[in-house]
Structure 1
Amino acid sequence: MTRLTVLVPAATVPLVVLAALLGPPSPDAAPTLPVPVSAAVVPPGPPSPDRPGRLRSAAVLDLGLTTANIRSGEHPMPQPDVVDDVAAVAAATPDGGALLLQEIIPARYRAAVRERFRDREIVAIRTTSVPIVVPRGWTVRGSGHVLVHRGRPDAGPDRFVSWAVVRPGGSGTTGAVALLNTHFVHAAWNGRPDRWDPWRKDRWRAHHVVVERIVASFVARGIPVLGGGDFNRTVRRGLRPFHPDQRWLHSDGGIDKLFWVPAGGADVSVDARDLTPLHSDHDARTVRLRLVLPTG
């Protein structure tokens, strides 16, 4: 298994560096962006041809997927509430599915997640606030994260994108899926500007560019993407898809969303959508998916 950690140097690197790594810029790109000087942001491996609609054989899998912001930041919750919320999102996610968690910052929050999912692999929990709980029985083929930008004491914490390339065990499939989790800077689009508003908007736009290019990198290699997180912007207020083929899987008008980008002939359908109330100031969003992956 390959793990790739991409950290940001102290200096700001021009956006052209990221463009060279990950493709042409978005029209919504910020003028500058702290980025790593690295050869890649996806785990290495041979490309897979993108052959939608041309599968010779396929495995059909049921998968639950949840995104949940477990509030910490300036107003961390009492530990019993943290434990309750982690238990609630575990119970809400069917079939031992994948969980995308945000604001897992204090050590006691990480401890609660590790304890609840001690029989599961958890990606990026030690080094980011956006860990991924891998579906039960699935194997991790590669993982990594990007520190998109540093936070400010009065404008929010560091912001990350994490991912894991996973493959279901025992299904006979040769296909893999990229799970992607992220949490954008808050209050950039809430209609209540403060002195940090230009900084927030600049970092939010830059963050969108990073996610666009990570998604594009996976799709170019024939790896579909199941992503989500807290985007701190609604579709109504201008949240755009990260890829031309993207579909929102759970978009009820809020800022917490799940999405799918097909590649390699894989496809997905949504059997059900659920909301789970939490002690946190966010409800958890869950989808029950029927996932089709190639077997040959």
Structure 2
Amino acid sequence: MSGKLSRRQALALGGGALLGAAAGTGTAAAATDWIRLPVVTANIGRTNLGARDDAIHDVRDADPGHRPLVGWQEICEGDTGERPMITRYFGNLYQNAFLWHDRSYRVPLSVPRPWKVVSSRATRVHGGIPKVTPPRWINEVVVRHESHPDLRFALINTHYIANAYNGDNRADLRDEWNLHKRVHKERVLAQHRLGRLVIWTADTNRRDYRDATGWQAEQQVFTGGIDRINWLPGNGDVQLQLRGTRTVPMRVDTHDARVAIFRIRLT
């Protein structure tokens, strides 16, 4: 155990009136044990549509015995098949945020119990370009643990435009990609400034992508490929540790789902 006292530990021991006033509360929340937290980024793809149902089933079992949090990409791009598939495998024990949103449905988030969505926000990045890209959005939720209301974090999911820095490498699409990067940074830092741990999932469509914010504190789970999971620590009340990674073969196209096995606790 670290010898450094957290803000809540200092309050519990006394002499923390100033810290308590700054936090806006006179009580300290109890620390928690470590809780397993699997997070998945899953692009469904469009090539082999018949493989989607099995792929979504396999994402649900990405960490056997545990319910994963999932950031999805390419939902309902071309048809509406994925919505009922996600609903089937991510049903009553999940909140499927944005899955039925009228505009930002392409990048929904599946959040399982014991986590509960307490707030959400959809941010439009840019409009669509005929035969090139649909409109692009950033979806975010704040979740809390049902048994530990102070154990909260933000989860953000998005999908950048393709062929700006990969594929065809079209310079005329880089304004849209660069705008997306700026808005992504703004949304991660907006949550961070509220003291929250931020985890984000994305198809970045750029293989040399490193981080959303440019901050040294932002951590990468995967350092190659275009499908990413990163995190930015908050004010220290919530601690996150990466314990391992996995890949889920999707068989729909060249994307495989990527899995980060975290553990999380309230300090």
Partner residue in 1 for 2:21: none
Distance 2:6 2:131 in 1: 49
Q: Deviations over 1:74-96 (max 9, x none)?
A: x4613xx1111100111114521
Which residue matches 2:126? 149
2:107 is paired with a residue whose SS is coil
Aligned residues of 1:216 and 1:243 also touching (Cα < 8 A) = no
Query: Is 1:77 the counterpart of 2:38 in the alignment?
Result: no
Secondary structure of residue in 2 paired with 1:274: strand
CA contact (8 A) 1:65 1:93 kept: no
1:103 is matched with 74
2:134 matched to 1:163? no
In structure 1, the partner of 2:40 is 66
Once the two structures are TM-superposed, the CA of residue 151 in structure 1 deviates from its matched residue by: 1.8
Q: What letter corresponds to residue 125 of structure 1 in structure 2?
A: L
The gaps in structure 1 that reach 5 residues or longer are: 1-51
- Are 2:208 and 1:242 aligned? no
TM-fit CA distance, 1:54: 3.7
- Indicate yes or no: 2:189 matched with 1:219: no
> Does residue 1:86 correspond to 2:56, yes or no?
yes
Alignment partners' CA distance in 2, 1:248 and 1:124 = 25
> Which residue does 1:188 correspond to in 2?
164
TM-score by length of 1: 0.74
Corresponding residue of 2:152: 176
Aligned match of 2:242 in 270, 278, 289?
270
The answer to whether the 8 Å contact 1:97/1:136 transfers is no
Question: Which residue matches 2:25?
Answer: none
Instruction: Report deviation, 1:192.
Output: 3.1
Alpha-carbon distance in 1 for matches of 2:196, 2:245: 24
Structure 1 segments (4+ residues) deviating >6 Å: none
**1:292 and 2:262 matched:** no
* TM-score when normalising by structure 2: 0.81
Question: Alpha-carbon deviation of 1:100?
Answer: 0.7
Root-mean-square deviation (CA, aligned residues, Å) is 2.0
Could you report, residue by residue, the CA deviation over 1:17-43 in whole angstroms, capped at 9, with x for unpaired residues?
Answer: xxxxxxxxxxxxxxxxxxxxxxxxxxx
1:139 equivalenced with 2:116 (yes/no): yes
Partner amino acid, structure 1, of 2:81: R
Spell out, residue by residue over 1:235-290, the C-alpha distance to the aligned partner (whole angstroms, 9 max, x if none): 2xx54442512101233x10001011110212211111001111222011001111
Cα offset for 1:213?
A: 0.6
The structure that has the greater radius of gyration is 2
Percent identical among aligned pairs is: 28
Structure 2 match to 1:257 = 228
Deviates more, 1:125-134 or 1:144-153: 144-153
Offset at residue 229 of structure 1 (A): 1.3
2:61 alignment partner, SS class: helix
The more displaced of 253-262 and 197-206 is 197-206
**Residue aligned with 2:178, SS:** helix
Residue type at the aligned position of 1:255: I
| CA deviation vs aligned residue, 1:47-72 (integer Å, no higher than 9, x gap) | xxxxx954425322111100010013
- Rate the CA distance shift 1:191–1:109 in 2: closer, same or farther, 3 A: closer
Q: Distance in 1 between matches of 2:186 and 2:118?
A: 20
Task: Encode CA deviations 1:198-231: one digit per residue, 9 max, x unaligned.
Answer: 3321111100111101111111111111111100
